């Protein structure tokens, strides 16, 4: 274990593959949809202030795993989860955990941009209002501005705060959703294929944003684009048929993955 760590430090030069104290620590996570098992004892640690990408073919369970992290799967009646997911050492499936509070710490961005059919301002202010974080009007304006600036959207739409969020372009909508997510100062941001509905320029802007955000937030991103995973993430986890096949430094995953299945997938050999 220590040896492999040292080796990773040597070859990668930037970061160790597995930190001693990951922010998110998943042990033996099994997920069932009714009788169908979707995840098979996934053990995965996610480091703080780092981008971790989850890759794998469709239906491999990466989105399911992502949704376990903010308990979005709770909404599905038939979904049941066993195992342990700890964030900051706290089991998020503990019955004493308040899901609302948990989700205020974990923002989520979806595949399709889904701003509320409200004004841009109200979209960003939604979270702080919902959680009663900010009451003063001036504070709220500051918060909205700050979030939009951080999402790289302020200069483009500062004159359009009262227009409906749905009137923005696709890429702007997605960044609006990111601004909405960071307005509640989460610790973690989950992204479920955030660029799959966007054109390359909008994608590039989002990727640039992810790069900036990782200084402050821990980001977990599901993506179908291997190149994107290679570009934005420090660590990559490969899922297949509900199992975590391989996890490691992104560079290694795309240079010389240890597992043959991973190699087959990243090189485009999966039939």
Which residue stretch of 15-23, 145-153, 203-211, 254-262 sits at the interface with another protein (rule: CB under 8 A)?
254-262
User: Chain-centre distance of CA 65, in angstroms?
Assistant: 11
Query: Taking the complex as a whole, how short is the minimal distance between the CB of residue 130 and another protein, in angstroms?
Result: 6
Please enumerate in sequence order all residues whose Cβ is within 8 A of that of 170, keeping only pairs 6 or more positions apart, or say none.
113, 197, 198, 199, 202
Q: Report whether 220 contacts 42 (CB < 8 A).
A: no
CA–CA separation, 238 and 247 (whole Å):
6
Per rule CB under 8 A, is residue 267 in the interface with another protein?
A: yes
Mark 89-128 with x for binding to another protein (rule: CB under 8 A) and - for no binding: ----------xxxxxx--xx-x-x-xxxx--------xx-
At 214 the three-state DSSP class reads coil
Tell me the CA distances in angstroms from 49 to 55, 92, 100, 254, one per residue in order: 19, 19, 23, 21
Q: Is 82 in the site for another protein (CB under 8 A)?
A: no
Q: Using an 8 Å Cβ cutoff, are 190 and 69 in contact? A: yes
Q: Of 57, 130, 149, 208, which lies in the binding site for another protein, with binding defined by CB under 8 A?
A: 130
Question: Of the two residues 62 and 103, which places its CB atom closer to another protein in the complex?
Answer: 103
Residue 33 or residue 40: which is nearer to another protein going by CB? 33
DSSP label at 231? H
Residue from the set 9, 57, 212, 255 that interacts with another protein by CB under 8 A: 255
Please give the residues from 166 up to 205 whose contact with another protein meets the rule CB under 8 A: 166-167, 177, 180-181, 184
Tell me, by CB under 8 A, how many residues bind another protein.
46
Nearer to another protein, 209 or 253 (CB): 253
C-alpha torsion angle, residues 206, 209, 214, 215 (rounded to 10):
180
Tell me: does residue 34 bind another protein (CB under 8 A). Answer: no
CA dihedral of 140, 145, 151, 156, whole degrees rounded to 10: 140
Q: Which lies closer to another protein via its Cβ, residue 27 or residue 119?
A: 119
Nearest residue (CB) to another protein, 41 versus 261 = 261
Residues 218-237, one symbol each (x = binds another protein by CB under 8 A, - = not), give: --------xx--x-------
Sign of dihedral through CA atoms 193, 72, 114, 174? negative
CB of 106 to another protein, least distance (A): 8
Q: For residue 159, give both structure tokens.
A: 């004159």
State the Cα–Cα distance between residues 210 and 221, nearest whole angstrom: 10
The secondary structure of residue 174, as a DSSP letter, is H
Which residue, 181 or 206, has its beta carbon nearer to another protein? Answer: 181
Surface-to-core class of residue 83, CB atoms within 10 Å of its CB (0-12 exposed, 13-18 middle, 19+ buried): middle
**CB closer to another protein, 28 vs 74:** 74
Binding site for another protein (CB under 8 A): 70, 72, 75, 77, 99-104, 107-108, 110, 112, 114-117, 126-127, 130-131, 164, 166-167, 177, 180-181, 184, 226-227, 230, 253-257, 262-264, 266-271
């Amino acid at each position: 274990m220590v040896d492999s760590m040292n080796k990773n430090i040597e070859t990668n030069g930037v970061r160790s593959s597995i930190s001693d104290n990951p922010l998110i620590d998943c042990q033996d996570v099994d997920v069932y949809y009714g009788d169908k098992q979707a995840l098979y004892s996934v053990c995965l640690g996610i480091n703080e202030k780092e981008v971790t990408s989850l890759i794998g073919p469709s239906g491999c369970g990466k989105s399911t795993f992502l949704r376990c992290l903010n308990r979005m799967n709770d909404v599905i009646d038939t979904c049941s989860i066993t195992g342990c997911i700890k964030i900051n050492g706290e089991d998020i499936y503990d019955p004493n955990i308040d899901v609302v509070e948990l989700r205020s710490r974990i923002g989520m961005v979806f595949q399709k941009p889904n701003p509320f059919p409200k004004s841009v301002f109200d979209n960003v202010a939604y979270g702080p209002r919902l959680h009663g974080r900010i009451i003063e009007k001036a504070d709220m304006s500051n918060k909205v501005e700050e979030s939009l600036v951080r999402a790289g959207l302020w200069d483009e739409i500062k004159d359009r705060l009262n227009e409906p969020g749905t009137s923005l372009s696709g890429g702007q909508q997605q960044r609006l959703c990111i601004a909405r997510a960071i307005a509640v100062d989460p610790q973690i941001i989950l992204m479920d294929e955030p660029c799959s509905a966007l054109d390359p320029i909008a994608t590039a802007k989002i990727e640039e944003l992810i790069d900036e955000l990782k200084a402050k937030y821990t980001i977990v991103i599901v993506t179908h684009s291997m190149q994107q995973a290679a570009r934005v993430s420090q660590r990559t986890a490969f899922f297949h048929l509900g199992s975590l096949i391989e996890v490691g430094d992104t560079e290694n995953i795309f240079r010389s993955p240890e597992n043959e299945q991973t190699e087959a997938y990243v090189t485009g050999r999966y039939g």
